[in-house]
Chains A and B, each alone.
Chain A
Amino acid sequence: MGLLHRITSVAVSLKPYEEYFLSGLFLIVGSYAYIEAQSWGFAAGTWPRLTAGIVIVLSTLVFLQRYLPESLRSLIADGDTMFSRRQKEAASRNKADTDSKEQQRDDDGVSAAVMTAMFTVVYAVAGYLIGFLWATPLFIFAYSRWNEAEFSTPVALAAVGFGIAYGFVGVLGVPIDGGILTEVVLS
């Protein structure tokens, strides 16, 4: 739980910098793609150079938006588009009723999102190691237990999950009944 708390705290503290992180990541990806595409010929390199160039220009604008003139900054940051004002007007008619539904737990929300993301990553890695046929019920059971469901619910959901995974093996013939680890152990 200590590790989880620490990860959540880090995620919450990084929240204000998400915008920089994303646009910075896109800028790095665009720059790498542009440099790499320099060595390719006309037919193979024109399109990647063009798209990478657009990514570099736009991500630089988003990254540096705080330092741009007000008119340009509002254009980059604001969300009002052709129809969004009408949507907001219509939605505001019933705002009092829907406000309570739409409110999100801020820090708790980050914690839930981080945990769901971590469960998903671990599920994918477990599937690679032992096969999704076995990783699926374990993932569903663990996720449901983390959500404080009563013991019977995670067991029932895990059984449903195993049934779904077994369906992929039996009906569709997808080879998910073993992973890298099981191959090593069995061979």
Chain B
Amino acid sequence: MSQLAAAIEGILTLFTWPVIAWMVGGVLVGIVAGALPGIGAGLGMAIILPLTLPLDPISGLVFLIGVYSGAMYGGSISAILINTPGTGGSAATTLDGYPMSRLGLAKNATAISVTASVIGGSVGLLTLLVLLPVLIEVILAFQSPEYFMVAMVGLALIPIVAQGSLFKGLLSGALGLLIATVGIAPMRFQSRYTFDSLALDNGISYIAALIGLFAIAEMIRLSTESGGIAQTGVDARSGSVRDGIKTALSKPITMIKSAYIGMAVGAIPGGGSTIANFVAYSESVRAAKNPDPEFGKGNPTGVVATEASNNGSIGGSILPTIAFGIPGSAATAVLLAGLLLHGLRPGPSLFGADAHITYAMLLSVLVGNVVILIVGLTLVTRASLITKLSSETIIPIVITLAVLGGISFRNNWIDIATIVVLGLIGYVMIRNDYSVIAFVLGIILGPIAEENLIRSLQISDGSFVIFLTRPLSLLLVVAFVFILCVPLLAARRE
């Protein structure tokens, strides 16, 4: 199938019933999840993931991407109105968004946010679609040794770009890889770490692990935060939507530059929207000459930069997820789990026989932006109601959804135990600066990495030299060693 035919089939698939309805529904759910502090894209998608099981693969994946895209925008609502980012990707939006609300410009700020989100997200996606034919050639050149090394590079990158220490990040990733070995070995009939329990033969469910580490750990953390999340006295009806749109459109360079920053940072495993929006904000501060008002005191450019970058990161983080199985963020880690759940393996097939699914997923972000634009500009003053929910209300409901979602996937009590145990351990890990995302990635990437390692070693009669004799693989080995050495070199320089 040619790429053009795949793109056309992707468009046609997206606009069939009920796929389009799931996409719209996903965006709406995502906006609500994103606006609820403590929920956000990753957790929202993790809770919803098991519920997509009865859907066909395209509907399920389009729904998940809708949630992802909607949550990226939704996070700005609470960031602007109550100074509490709904998602990490909107953390920098509070810096100028909330001061704008306090200046009586809440509508302006939210209109800037929706305009920048939609344009930033669309710029990122369109660029990705233009580059895709070239990228596909590279992806199709990958074989087992390269896939194994890409997984290793991905795991090595995470603790460097994400917050936390290098050693603890690597330890988290290695633990995830080890946990993924529980159950029957992939290429031999050998039970591993099952304690003679049949329930463990199918291994630890990565979905249960995701739910435990993201949902339960996050809810325990949320319960420790003081005070309510609303009641700041900001009137969501103050200001002008039209002026907000005009302000956003008057800053095209900031918007496009921030979208590309988001795309580039989002493509780095472990980078994601949280880092992207801080980098874009820093860049807008650096580039500004005599800002009025000052940054941090309600400068609209700050909102434009952060919101264009977090939605711009969507395209960047989706590509490594579907091409190599390496997610750029917690949300794309869940998306990867969604691909596996629906029987799709990241890699060449998603750019060959199943390319129409890839195009349908990517185009759903573009179409989803239209939904965001309509909802953002028409319902935004009502959206402030979402932020009035207290954490005491959110916590038991989310724990319920998480546990019920976990049991509904395989009806296996091991999954409930996994959710609870990893939820508790995940909370203590977060408190002690361990990277939970690295842990999750280890669990998800483990089987892929093991299978490709064993297959590579079988090809080479057990020799690890195979990773050095193939040019692409050698390049990845060099990248892997370099990445591991970067923090050591930086520490030495300091």
Contact = CB atoms under 8 A, between A and B. Distances in A.
Given A41-B190, A82-B161, A101 B84 contact: yes
A183 interface: no
Given A74-B491, A90-B92, A174-B408, A104 B226 contact: yes
B242 interface: no
Contacts of B165: 75-79, 81
Interface string A112-124: 1101110111011
A47 B188 CA distance: 12
Interface string A12-49: 00000011011100100110010011001111101110
B162 A18 contact: no
Interface of B: 51, 54, 83-84, 91-92, 94-95, 98-99, 159-168, 170-171, 174-175, 177-178, 181, 185, 187-188, 190, 192-193, 216, 219-221, 223-227, 265, 271, 274-275, 278-279, 281-282, 285, 295-296, 392-393, 395-397, 399-401, 403-404, 407-408, 411, 413, 416-417, 419-420, 423-425, 427-429, 431-434, 446, 449-450, 453-454, 457-458, 462, 486-488, 491-492
A51 interface: yes
Given A44-B188, A51-B446, A93-B296, 10 more contacts: A36-B193, A51-B178, A51-B181, A54-B174, A62-B168, A94-B296, A97-B83, A124-B403, A174-B407, A176-B404
B404 A168 contact: yes
A84 B224 CA distance: 24
Interface of A, secondary structure class, is helix
Contacts of A33: 178, 181, 193
Interface string A55-96: 100110110000000010011111101111011011101100
Nearest to B486: A82
A58 B226 contact: no
Interface residues of A, number: 85
Contacts, number: 245
A82 B188 CA distance: 40
A113 B224 contact: yes
Contact of A90 (B84, B160, B278, B427): B278
B174 A120 contact: no
Nearest to B451: A47
Interface in A91-148: 91, 93-94, 97-98, 101, 103-105, 108-110, 112-113, 115-117, 119-121, 123-124, 127-128, 132, 136, 139-140, 143-144, 147
Contact of A161 (B54, B275, B396, B423): B396
B224 A44 contact: no
A110 B427 CA distance: 11
Contacts of A143: 395-396
Contacts of B454: 43, 46-47
